[in-house]
Amino acid sequence: MKAGVWFAAGAAAGVYGMVRVRRLAEAFTPDGMRDRIGAAVLGARMFGEEVARGQAAAEIHLRQRFDGADAGPPQLMNPQSSKEGTR
């Protein structure tokens, strides 16, 4: 029984090692490198879109929080014109 367990463990380790080596060898072929580069480009594009979405959401949140931030800079009133209007 003990020898059968060790045989199965050795066979499983051998199969696992062969699969890992085959995947590693495939990764360094031209097709494998193209896939990796394509995945990196796609990941960068998705990250950029996510950042842009977050910036837009933060801008909306800030505009709602400060209510009227899109109205431009605050305008100062002329003190004399405000006195004349109250008379």
1 vs 4, 9, 13, 66, CA distance in Å? 5, 13, 19, 75
Q: Distance between CA 9 and CA 4 in Å, rounded? A: 9
pLDDT at residue 66 in the model: 83
- Structure token pair of residue 3: 């020898």
Residue with structure tokens 């051998």? 14
pLDDT tens digits along 16-31: 999 999 999 988 899 9
Q: In 10 A of CB 73, how many CB atoms?
A: 6
Q: What is the pTM of this model?
A: 0.51
pLDDT tens digits along 47-74: 999 999 999 999 989 888 887 645 555 5
pLDDT band (50, 70, 90) for residue 86: low
Q: Give yes or no for residue 3 having a pLDDT over 60.
A: yes
Q: Give yes or no for residue 44 having a pLDDT over 90.
A: yes
